[in-house]
Structure 1
Amino acid sequence: MAILLEMKDIHKTYPNGTKANRGVDLTVHEGEIHALVGENGAGKSTLMKILFGLEAPTSGSILYKGQPLRFQGPKDAIKQGMGMVHQHFMLVPSLTVSENIVLGEEPVKGLFSLVRDRTKEFSEIEKLIETFKLKVDPRATVETISVGQKQRVEIIKVLYRGARLIILDEPTAVLTPQETDELFESIQMLVRQGYTIIFITHKLREVMEISNRVTVLKAGKTITTMLTKDTNPEEISRLMVGREVLFRVDKQPSEPKDIVLSVKNLCASDDKGAPALRGISLDIRAGEVVGIAGVEGNGQTELVEAITGLRKATSGEIRYLGDELIGKSAAQIRAMKVGHVPEDRQTTGASLTSTIAENLILDHYRNPEFRRGPFLNKKKIKQFAKIMMDIYDVRAQNEDVMAGALSGGNLQKVVIAREISKNPKLLIASQPTRGVDIGAIEFIHREIIKRRDGGAAVLLVSAELSEVMGLSDRIAVVYNGKIVAVLDNHDGLTEEELGYYMLGIKSQERKEALQ
């Protein structure tokens, strides 16, 4: 296959001295699916931002179709036939699918091109939907469609703008197994018609399943590029992390004890006042992990926020060690030895304008060990932060670096370190490994199981079914604000079976689900 893209000796040094890329080389062939993998902070995101014109390289060159390029912004990349589907969707919820797809590129007609050509708009969109089997209703409002359909809208959006090289950043992070299969079918159809895909993921199983070649980055440098058929997940992970990685969660059967958290007939509304939780009941015992499985947007966020005091319940009960939590503030609940890893590390998990050290003591800076009379003991705080950074492998120059300057994965490690280090009796972990590399995932999984074995009750919410199944002792499936099944986790339970419950195709009898 002909070479489509060459990125040669790419360096990127930020004004604060951080070196994100240290001589990266990437060669992408026309008509291939090229996987790009690496640990958090390896330089993947920076490299793609440079390619798409969101960042300027400090040095190095980019050749596209044999011609040197230097983009001033994403518009230049789009004009050259590049498109990027970001991990976090860039859609306007209140607009229709069609309006999102053509936004900024609306077809017009008539004198002086003042009239929007709706007929042409729908014709072109429906042709793309049919050609690439990206099933979605162009007239539906984006806020009413599923996560998988939103992913398709993003892909149609870049196709509509004429992209031939498409960058997919963690495209399956929030998809069910069925939706992932459908996405892969669409990607392979694109490639058969001459499109080229750069596929960024932490899921090595997906690398093996869909890519033709894979490039491994580590510490801002290219380690190697290999034919996927000539390698395996073990070799890729070893190149990424520098050691063998255990892909399974090594744990003993749970020994559940007394009920720690009891939720009864809980109802709550979403941010728009619509019902989000519709009578959820669930018990979690000391010494067990209960996983919540479900397509995002089915009440998981509201459930966690209601338990942690971040959302007001409209009715029901939430009892923690016998105490009613409804009516208590988030600060009061956290002071009761409740740990909470929020799903959004940037808005509710960390203070981006505070240092790593400050973030690590955010809710226990009043502890005597961190105080000297009425003042903070900065020496002790720094010592604690250094220990946590070492244990949790937070990669930064020192503990005084602002949290906002960290990569997403390293910021997640800071949040995990803070919540787990206080030895909670109830640990609520929402998307604990989202955007985290395989080495860190392995460590976080071990820590969660360690807390379980130490007697903590763990509520795990994750869009990663493999994570839910690997860590959970029981799995509660939510659909449309209700628990439609509570299943004991055993070898016979499959991701496909869970997927049917998650999509609302199957449901246990309510009486059975609450047992």
Structure 2
Amino acid sequence: MKLELRGITKRFGSLVANDAIDLTVEPGEIHALLGENGAGKSTLMNVLYGLYHPDAGEILLDDRPQHFAGPGEAMAGGIGMVHQHFMLVPVFTVAENVMLGNEWTTGPLGFLSQKQARAKVRELSDRYGLQVDPDAVVGDLPLGVQQRVEILKALIRDAKVLILDEPTAVLTPQEIDDLIRVMRELAAAGTGIVFITHKLREVKAVADRITVIRRGKVVGEAAAAASEAELASLMVGRDVALVVDKPPVETRDVALRIADLVVEDDRGSTTVDGVTLDVRGGEIVALAGVQGNGQEQLVEVLLGLRPAERGTVELDGESVLGRSTHSILQRSVGFVPEDRQHDGLVGSFSVAENLVLDLFDRPPYGGRLGMDNAAVADNAQQRVTEFDVRPPEPAAPANTLSGGNQQKVVIARAMSRPLRLLVVSQPTRGVDVGAMEFIHRRIVAERERGTAIVLVSSELDEVLSLADRIAVMYRGKIIGVLPSGATRDEVGLMMAGVPQEQAQQEALEKPSLLAGLDADGGTA
């Protein structure tokens, strides 16, 4: 089935999220929709799926105009969508999840027929090599297999066009390989696929055609042979350096020492299980792992946001366990939280005020007589210039800035004074390639000043390019520490729980599909 979008426009008040977008997906084609977060990719697909109604333009399937009043009509028309955040019930089996909203019944009384659902799951699983057990409980499955369940839900409804929205966000490299194989199987059988992503390497590995959108508009089309640098330039509108320039590490004394740390989450489950790790001044140690393996709770303990059940955390030989976040930050610790809007900024406060959130009660910004507004304004002017915050208006509320510029404010605050330790969690989440380049440079510059840096990132390319050492976390434990220069396959296998020596051997014997692409998008 051929999909065509003509002149799709969608507005939210004064914001034009989609501006006269044209897109054609042929049967059996994998068409990548590439753009940074906020570019309008997901909005466009939500229009196609009937979740939003376009303000202008039309949708055509096999040259026939369509008017979807909701997702039910879109599914009936042959459109399937796998959302970035899975829409599954964890306590249900695969078959039960697949049946939801599409129940099979048997007999005159209309009893649910799980037998039919299981049979259909097995049939499609075998046909496309999905390898999904219909009787497995979804909550017990790895994330990569849960994603296959989402794909099965769409296929069982006879989807002819499948939308995959940021499908690799929580997958290991090996699970991404499996997804690419499934996508190719589906395309070979005639399914058209819209692959929404901001990851250049994956686009090049699987796409037949690439459409790039920026700020709600189509800015170009490219073939899969285009380099990553060319694609990045289209996304941002200028040339971007994709390789981090990082001189050799010159480590100093141990700044942060973690020993036998045990932490529980809010439900009382152990999420950090006996972690021991040293971080020296002048090095970047990355905590790599699929989200949900204890990294978040470990960071919270380091910053005094969560108590530990057992163990020690020392900064320059002094215990910081049990101290308040304010007390820890005053010990020359900088912090970039994972969620800038929830934990990093007060949106209604000005940029200037946000830049001193952790220093407002200390000279030169404040004291017993209150805050010195002139000093706060002078600091803001310096930081806005130094960190290229746009627009350069310190008095503007922080929530009026774009995501990338909000992140620059958080980074500027964390790095605005001499540091002994910097903890950065997901530093480039939701920012464009240009802002990413800038943030990476600042992190490396902080390393050169001798600061000990703990990096938490779900972006494996970011981990590999920035880290001097990589501590891989799996189910709350550090299962190995890899040096700079480790391959994405080694790290990816360990993220899935494979022991370090075995991962290194398997990475040599069976490299992933993405391992063959270099940083510039060519073949290695």
Q: How does 1:292-441 map to 2 (within 5 A)?
A: 292-351=287-346, 359-366=354-361, 374=370, 377=373, 384=380, 388=384, 391-392=387-388, 400=396, 403=399, 412-421=407-416, 424-441=419-436
1:434 deviates by 2.8
AA matched with 1:342: P
Greater shift in the superposed pair: 478-487 or 66-75: 66-75
CA distance 1:482–1:438, change in 2 (3 Å): same
CA distance 1:485–1:218, change in 2 (3 Å): same
1:406 deviates by 6.9
1:6 deviates by 2.3
Answer whether contact 1:394 1:414 (CA < 8 A) is retained: no
1:357 deviates by 6.1
What secondary structure sits across from 1:174 in the alignment? coil
CA distance 1:300–1:61, change in 2 (3 Å): same
What secondary structure sits across from 1:154 in the alignment? helix
CA distance 1:122–1:354, change in 2 (3 Å): farther
CA distance 1:398–1:257, change in 2 (3 Å): closer
CA distance 1:105–1:359, change in 2 (3 Å): farther
Specify every segment of 5 or more residues in structure 1 that has no aligned partner in the other structure, as ranges. Answer: 510-515
Number of equivalenced pairs: 501
Greater shift in the superposed pair: 361-370 or 470-479: 361-370
- Measured in 1, the distance between the counterparts of 2:179 and 2:200 equals 16
CA distance 1:20–1:358, change in 2 (3 Å): farther
Answer whether contact 1:340 1:419 (CA < 8 A) is retained: yes
* Alignment match, 2:206: 210
What secondary structure sits across from 2:187 in the alignment? helix
Deviations 1:222-264 (A, max 9, x none): 11223323x2222222222222221211010111112111100
* Alignment match, 2:87: 90
Deviations 1:281-304 (A, max 9, x none): 000111100012223332222222
AA matched with 1:503: A
CA distance 1:386–1:59, change in 2 (3 Å): farther
The one of 265, 276, 299 equivalent to 2:260 is 265
Deviations 1:332-381 (A, max 9, x none): 33343323333344544445676766655544444556669546849956
Greater shift in the superposed pair: 47-56 or 205-214: 47-56
- Measured in 2, the distance between the counterparts of 1:304 and 1:503 equals 21
CA distance 1:356–1:184, change in 2 (3 Å): farther
Answer whether contact 1:350 1:415 (CA < 8 A) is retained: yes
CA distance 1:297–1:98, change in 2 (3 Å): farther
1:68 matched to 2:65? The reply is yes
* Alignment match, 1:121: 117
- Measured in 1, the distance between the counterparts of 2:88 and 2:335 equals 28
TM-score normalised over the length of structure 2 = 0.86
* Alignment match, 2:512: none
Answer whether contact 1:39 1:439 (CA < 8 A) is retained: no
* Alignment match, 1:144: 140
- Measured in 2, the distance between the counterparts of 1:112 and 1:389 equals 71
CA distance 1:148–1:120, change in 2 (3 Å): same
* Alignment match, 1:186: 182
Deviations 1:453-482 (A, max 9, x none): 122111112222221111011111222222
1:53 matched to 2:46? The reply is no
User: Please, what is the CA RMSD of the aligned residues?
Assistant: 3.1
Specify every segment of 5 or more residues in structure 2 that has no aligned partner in the other structure, as ranges. Answer: 503-524
* Alignment match, 2:487: 494
AA matched with 1:248: V
**% same residue:** 45
* Alignment match, 2:22: 25
Answer whether contact 1:53 1:74 (CA < 8 A) is retained: yes
Answer whether contact 2:94 2:149 (CA < 8 A) is retained: yes
Answer whether contact 2:347 2:397 (CA < 8 A) is retained: no
Answer whether contact 2:377 2:394 (CA < 8 A) is retained: no
1:505 matched to 2:498? The reply is yes
1:274 matched to 2:282? The reply is no
CA distance 1:209–1:14, change in 2 (3 Å): same
1:152 deviates by 1.9
